Every structure is written in structure tokens, then in C-alpha cells.
Amino acid sequence: MAERFDAMRFSGPIGRLIADTQEERLAAFLAPVAGRRILDVGTGTGRAAIALARRGAIVTGVDASAEMLAVAERRAKEALGHGAGGGAVTFARGDAHRLDFPDAGFDSVVCLRVLMHTPDWRASLRELCRVASARVVFDYPSLYSAAALQALARRVTQKMNPAVEAYRVFSPGAVSRVLAGAGFHVIGQHRQFVLPIALHKRVGSEAWTRGVEGAMARVGLMRLFGSPVTVVAER
């Protein structure tokens, strides 16, 4: 299941575009990365944690799923072992609502594709801020985007089929208020798509996606309706 989850999100040309863009934005938002202590909350199969370790960071990845962590550990050995150099990465079980780390225990904290699913996203975001001494990077689907319609459809479907995974969408104002209460403020953000990701994956052409989304960005639609939103906030 863990392997299928990862493949479903990051396979194909659009999946690879999402993964590459994610790695580029993380590196830019957290620069300089080498030597920094970074916590990856909800690490899943370790994709972001391993990418940061390759750039020289000292990374701890936590996740609630032992199955996901088993995949992450295997991938980290394959990617960073055999004298590969770079930084280091370790993995442990953890709950985003109650992180078992001291205040300001890490230089930066990363949390991707998690807050949209947590039972109490505000508590989770406050925890990310608590254990970060400098920066937090996280993402969310925007209330003002096509993701809001999909989120509503999933919530309705879930009532008939509990196996369907619902998620929430966020307003920038709500996010900023929680950050401000934790002593952080937004210093940058990146929006990736105006059209639904599912549509881009159905078309399956990176050139088409870059062309269409680039055109929308040029006329200002990305700034208004782009999603997911990746945010970097600083103490």
C-alpha cells in the first residue's frame, strides 16, 4: 500500500513534475540546506527527507505509519548508502499533533500533504512552529481553487463510502493567524496549478501542463487560484 501510494502521486510525467518542483521549492525555501537540522513531519516514504539529505542536511523523518517508514528506510539506504556522501537521515514514528521533540529542536521543519488530513490542523501547525528555531515549510490546498470543489465532492462521497479519503481546504487568512499566534510570519509561497491535478494527469503531458499553467500565471490566475500552496514562514 505504501509503495502504491507513492507511485500513484509521483508516477508519470506530471507526477515527476510535482516531485521535481517540490524538491526545488524546498531547497530554495530552506537555503542554505547543508548542515542544517531539519524535521520532516509526515515523511511518508521519505521522498522529501531523502532529497534534503542528498543536499547535505541532517534530517529526521517522522510518520504515523510503520509501513510508510519501512519503505522510507529502505529508500534512504539505497539513495544515501554505499559512501554516497551528503547528509544523514533517520526515521521514527510520530504524531503531528504531539511531536516528541524539544522547543526549537530543529533549524527548520517541513510538512507536506499532511495538514489537509490531520484531525486538528491548527494544533499540528503550532507543533511545527514550536519545534522549529527558524523556518517552517508546509503546503495546503487553497479554499479559492478547484481543490475546494473536489474536497466538497469527497466529503459527500465519504458519507456513502467511508473508504474515500476526504480532506480540507484552507484560507490564507486562517493559516496566517495560526502562524502569527506561534510567532511566525509568511515570507514566501509557491502555487503550482490552477487546473485540477487530476486533469493534468489525465492529459499526461508535461509540455501541455507547463504551457497552460504558464499562460494562466501570466494573466494573474495563478496568484489568485493556484493550488496547492507551499508556504515558507519564519520566526
Q: Where are the domains of the chain?
A: 2-140+170-192+228-234
| pLDDT tens figures, 201-226 | 999 999 999 999 999 999 999 999 99
Burial 133-161 (b: 16+ CB within 10 A, else e): eebbbbbbbbbebbbbebbeeeeeeeeee
Please report the pLDDT score of residue 6 as a whole number.
63
Q: For position 95, what pLDDT does the model report?
A: 95
CA distance 25 to 34: 15
Fold for 2-140+170-192+228-234, please state it: Rossmann fold (3.40.50)
Q: CA-to-CA distance for 172 and 136, rounded, in angstroms?
A: 15
Q: Measured between alpha carbons, how far is 31 from 225 in angstroms, rounded to an integer?
A: 27
In this structure, the number of other CB atoms found within 10 A of the CB of residue 40 comes to 32
216 touches 121 (CB < 8 A)? no
Dump pLDDT digits (tens) for 54-95: 999 999 999 999 999 999 999 999 988 754 456 799 999 999
Distance CA 62, CA 127 (A): 13
- pLDDT of res. 83: 45
- Cell digits for 202? 489525465
Extract the residue ranges of the chain whose pLDDT is less than 50. Answer: 83-84
φ, ψ at 153 (rounded to 5°): -60, -40
pLDDT at residue number 147: 86
With a CB cutoff of 8 Å and minimum separation 6, the contacts of 19 are 10, 47
> Which pLDDT value is given to residue 157?
81
What is the spatial order of strands in the sheet that 88-93 belongs to? 88-93, 58-63, 37-41, 106-111, 132-140, 227-234, 185-193
